[in-house]
Amino acid sequence: MRVELDEPKCVAAGQCVMAAPEVFDQRDDDGVAIVLDAEPGAELHDSVREAAAVCPAAAIRLEER
């Protein structure tokens, strides 16, 4: 799995961080999400899929491999 974030679309809701804190974080200055691990291990795939599903801006794109 490869994780991509469209930062300009991000509305800083933090839902991705709540769902997958090992993979996402937020910038301190504006709250926009950042990807900590663009290729998370298989044990994190379900939480990353959940993060993408709950993103209110649909800013997370997953490439399943």
| pLDDT tens digit sequence for 15-37 | 999 999 999 999 999 999 999 99
* pLDDT given for residue 65 in this prediction: 85
Mean of the per-residue pLDDT values for the chain? Answer: 98
Give the chain's domains with CATH numbers: 2-63 (3.30.70.20)
- pTM for this one? 0.95
Please give the share of the chain, as a percent, with pLDDT higher than 90.
98
Q: Is the CB of residue 45 less than 8 Å from the CB of residue 53? A: no
Q: Which residues, at least 6 apart from 32, have a Cβ–Cβ distance to it below 8 Å?
A: 7, 10, 12, 26
